[in-house]
Amino acid sequence: MNVRPGVVAVVVAAWAWSSAAERSLGVSEFGVVEGRPVKLFTLTNAGGSEVRITEYGGIVVSIRVPDRDGRLGHVALGYDRLDAYVTDNPFFGTITGRYANRIAGGRFELDGETWQLAQNDGENALHGGVRGFDKVVWDGVPTASGDGVALTYVSPDGDEGYPGELTTTVTYTWTDDDALRIDYEARTDKPTVVNLTNHSYFNLADGGAGTVLDHHLTVNAARYTPADSASIPTGEIVPVADTPFDFRSPQTLGARIADDQPQLTASGGYDVNFVLDEAGGDLPLAAVVYDSTTGRAMDVLTDQPGVQLYTGNHFDGRHVGIGSVRHQRHSALCLETQHFPDSPNQPSFPPTVLRPGETYATTTVYRFYTR
């Protein structure tokens, strides 16, 4: 994939509207991929908090929200330049699909036919394959309400081995109370499997300059799906009680991350799918993260049945993010709302099949505030 670096922040258009205070939505050129200009959308709410989103990978480039003293700071990991995302991105802020997380052996059976997918995680398929939704340019337009951006991508039949032409729209909305709402919608012309999420890495203290081991986490999940050494679910759904995965009450991430537990040891930290106590309905609260140093907190609300906790276990200083920060091990956490990993091969898990005439629709909200 060819990129022309160094083309940033050239203003193409901007919109502003009035409410209790001035809000704005700006559109600029972030760079060029394969001869195509890539837009960067900057959403600023009435309080001055800001989210930046790019058409490449549908990536949330940055989120800036205040601490308890009102100082704005970055709380999501990302890069300053488009070329960095193209050449070496560990899924910073991306839309992941067609199937987020892993599918064992990179294959599944649907309606009696076996489909072989691109294998990009050993023998397994991960986050959509070699060129998943995180590595394509989406078509982005501001929403009619002016407080968000709608991104659309048409994935052709056979893309990365998946059946059916899949048309997907992901709408990001940035509210005046510092909530990032993500609405996913997809339709297909052949039976297929779909599981979409956002892969933002969060550090509520300082944008990844330190670790998140002292962040407090609560997850409203009494059960989880155990996985083998390749992070493939065993098919069981078991209680979190008496395990390092029990976050039903607030716990610091560092308290048990080094415990001698096979799944923790194999992953070098947390990489686990929780089975949420509530799913569907009116966006129940799935998780809460709190950083006592800055007072920042984040609620995760979703209608999905699961959420994957990942603690940046493989960062080693190689990725240099916004502000020239080198991201070290455990410098951020992901809370990826989702259906369960390997669901197409696990009949006991909630199904992920989408058929013609049906609409895949799901919503997740990341809501920021201070204590």
Would you state the structure tokens that stand for residue 47, as one six-digit string?
A: 């309080």
Beta-sheet strand order (sheet of 238-239): 238-239, 223-225, 271-275, 306-310, 334-338
Would you state the structure tokens that stand for residue 134, as one six-digit string?
A: 């995180």
Would you state the structure tokens that stand for residue 18, as one six-digit string?
A: 């009035």
Q: Which helix (H) or strand (E) holds 361?
A: strand 360-370
**6-20: string of b/e by CB count within 10 Å (b at 16+)?**
ebeeeeeeeeeeeee
CA atoms within 13 A on the CB side of 19: 13
Would you state the structure tokens that stand for residue 101, as one six-digit string?
A: 């997380």
Secondary structure of residue 160 in the 3-state scheme? helix
For residue 34, indicate whether it is catalytic.
no
Would you state the structure tokens that stand for residue 211, as one six-digit string?
A: 């670790």
Distance of alpha carbon 125 from alpha carbon 127, whole angstroms: 7
Contact 168, 361 (CB under 8 A): no
Q: Across the chain, which distance is largest between two alpha carbons, in Å?
A: 59
DSSP label at residue 320: B
Would you state the structure tokens that stand for residue 164, as one six-digit string?
A: 């059916």
Distance of alpha carbon 349 from alpha carbon 110, whole angstroms: 15
Would you state the structure tokens that stand for residue 288, as one six-digit string?
A: 């809460």
* Catalytic residue (one of 50, 55, 160, 336): 336
* Catalytic residue (one of 74, 127, 199, 319): 199
Contact 257, 287 (CB under 8 A): no
Contact 76, 63 (CB under 8 A): yes
For residue 74, indicate whether it is catalytic.
no
Of 57, 109, 96, 105, nearest in space to 79 by CA: 57
Catalytic sites, residue numbers = 199, 336
